[in-house]
Structure 1
Amino acid sequence: MIQELGFCPTDRVVIINADDLGVTRSTNQAIMQMFKNNAITSTSIMVPADAALDAALQSTKEMNVGIHITLTSHKSRFYKPINKLNKFSSLTNEHGYFYDEVSNFEKNADLDEVRIEVEAQIQTAISLGIEPTHLDSHAGSILGLYNNRDFLEVIFYLCQKYALPFCLPIRILEHPSFSSEQKQMFRQRIHLANQLGVRLIDDIAGLTYHFSSEEGYEGAKKELIKQINNLKPGITQITTHPSIVSDELKELTKYYENREIEYQLYNDPDVKELIKNQNIKLISWKEIRDLQRNSFSLKYY
């Protein structure tokens, strides 16, 4: 795919994607500012989240917004399904909210109910004026990371229907933490994506959501610089979870300091200069989406 986009096989092509648009207003503020500063190239919105409407109303076509498929709640913030026409007994707890543990979602979720809810999130985003660039998974809920029960087949058929790429790195097959059974499942899903014409990327990088902030900003910066230096040829998403600290963010996560560190990092002139000096090519998910649509002439509903 890298050559279809006009790059050389040895080029390192990067999408810098800000996850969790819509989770809080201070997150929206950070992400909007990062687009203005050319610090990121893409973002993905949590449609069921509290500040999603605020994010949609502020977004522009230049922002390149994907759908951050949200099927779980935060422990301090509960979300309900977007689709109101069906009672999703398999997706929600006794109070009608998404489970706050991915493992509970994996064990209980019905495939048809997942499909209906995810499509409702896509259609809601479109109705709010967003032209989705891709799909990805909040908290990895559809990847089968806990009980070896994934939902990627359902998602890939939606990717085909809406002509959207998906954020699953092919090099997940090289990851040492996955079992042979998990790798076999991912191998099968990657094959299905190829059959359906759903474009995938090569790799993922970036600081983990729970990275240690004991060394503060400089420690995080050192780790990010190391990851940028070690990027392999191909298309890599560098994932970030930026925000500005607010009372709302503090209520949501105990890692609120990390979120502001990430906001500052990608605006850091040293990081931007490193990307330039390393001759890393920056793109967004929009280029991949457009390639998928042009290559297969899929009808976009």
Structure 2
Amino acid sequence: MNPILKKMGYSKEDKVVVVHADDVGITQSSIDAYLELLDFGTISSGSTMVPCPWFPEVAKVFRNHPQIDLGLHLTLNCEYETYRWRPVSTLDPSSGIIDENGYFKQDKHEVMKTGLPEYVATEIEAQLTVARNMGVSPTHVDSHSGTLWNPKFIDAYLDFYKKHQVLPVVFNLPGMADSLADSMKTLFNVPEEKINRFAAQGLPVVDAIAGLPVEHTYGRNDRLQLAKSILKQLPKGKLTHFAFHPMKDTPESRGLKRYSEGRIGDYEVFMQNELKDFLVNNGIQLIGYKDLMKYVSLP
């Protein structure tokens, strides 16, 4: 059983999940979706992207509602062709994280190949500084597109807990047997010894990863059934991070012209009473990273 869940009073029979809205602030509609889903009760957490144009609106929302569970989705790439973001710390081409026009590179693989660790460390520190300067106190940090799981960058990511008293979301990949975890290990070449060292310090790690595929649309009912199927298979006595990317259906959302249908589908599925009732009837317990932090002693 996950030690942090035991501390929190859960049993080895409980299914416990952080239902996590990624990319809050990528559009105005993503902010609205996040807030509505929190209020509806089918999500428990989310993380925002400081380099995105809508981040100041996210900060305003947080200042007005400081009780919400919101982390930072630390960002090193921008995967869209015509909707671009820049770093907040540098426009130096030698950093390896920007293109010839000063925007984040689109391809996460290229960023992991060319990005210099010292610039990456400075950039994610700067994103936290901007967030705090604008009144956001993040409950946690995680990584957009998983780039910070690369061995070149992971030290700066894991150091967040002791440098800033902010919990990095850490997946216990060495102990996972599911295909999503295996694909992450291969894609990011995750240094298992560093994850083991993190866990050995008594800091919480996530046992399992789940979520809805943003790159695939499906019909609304098919997407609902897929979500229910995934959630029904959550492991007992383990902490699962369920990531998805909800947005409301607006012209701006459609204007992304990449993954829009999947993101809109995420919102529409999790705003259904059928999904809400499914969570209750199957004993699926939602917690947030703010809940976890109450049981963590950080320097």
Relative to the length of structure 1, the TM-score reads: 0.88
Residue 113 of structure 1 pairs with residue 122 of structure 2: no
Q: CA deviation at 1:159?
A: 2.6
Letter in 1 for 2:66: K
1:3 to 2, 6, 9: 6
CA–CA distance in structure 2, aligned partners of residues 75 and 287 of structure 1: 37
Residue 229 of structure 1 pairs with residue 232 of structure 2: yes
Residue 50 of structure 1 pairs with residue 90 of structure 2: no
Q: CA deviation at 1:69?
A: 0.6
Q: Give the match for residue 166 of structure 2.
A: 164
Relative to the length of structure 2, the TM-score reads: 0.89
Q: Provide, for residues 109-129 of structure 1, a one-character-per-residue CA deviation record: whole Å limited to 9, x for no partner.
A: 111111111011112111211
1:151 to 150, 153, 156: 153
Q: CA deviation at 1:139?
A: 1.2
1:1-301 alignment to 2 at 5 Å?
A: 1-59=4-62, 60-73=65-78, 74-84=80-90, 89-144=95-150, 149-171=151-173, 173-176=176-179, 177-178=182-183, 185-195=190-200, 198-213=203-218, 216-233=219-236, 234-292=238-296, 295-296=297-298, 298=299
Runs of 4+ in 1 over 3 A off after TM superposition: 84-88, 175-186, 195-198
Deviates more, 1:78-87 or 1:22-31: 78-87
Q: Provide, for residues 89-132 of structure 1, a one-character-per-residue CA deviation record: whole Å limited to 9, x for no partner.
A: 32211211110001110111111111111011112111211111
Q: Measured at CA, do residues 71 and 257 of structure 1 come closer, stay the same or move farther in structure 2, by a change above 3 Å?
A: same
Are the aligned partners of 2:146 and 2:188 in contact in 1 as well (CA < 8 Å)? no
Q: Measured at CA, do residues 127 and 256 of structure 1 come closer, stay the same or move farther in structure 2, by a change above 3 Å?
A: same
Give the unaligned 5+ runs of structure 1.
Answer: none
Q: Measured at CA, do residues 11 and 221 of structure 1 come closer, stay the same or move farther in structure 2, by a change above 3 Å?
A: same
CA–CA distance in structure 2, aligned partners of residues 129 and 24 of structure 1: 20
Q: Provide, for residues 154-204 of structure 1, a one-character-per-residue CA deviation record: whole Å limited to 9, x for no partner.
A: 210123212222223224642444498779844212113225554321112
Letter in 2 for 1:38: G
Q: Measured at CA, do residues 40 and 65 of structure 1 come closer, stay the same or move farther in structure 2, by a change above 3 Å?
A: same
Are the aligned partners of 1:165 and 1:200 in contact in 2 as well (CA < 8 Å)? no
CA–CA distance in structure 1, aligned partners of residues 92 and 201 of structure 2: 28
Are the aligned partners of 2:91 and 2:102 in contact in 1 as well (CA < 8 Å)? no
SS in 1 for 2:103: coil
Q: CA deviation at 1:64?
A: 0.8
- Root-mean-square deviation over aligned CA pairs: 2.3
CA–CA distance in structure 2, aligned partners of residues 155 and 183 of structure 1: 14
Give the unaligned 5+ runs of structure 2.
Answer: none
CA–CA distance in structure 2, aligned partners of residues 184 and 18 of structure 1: 25
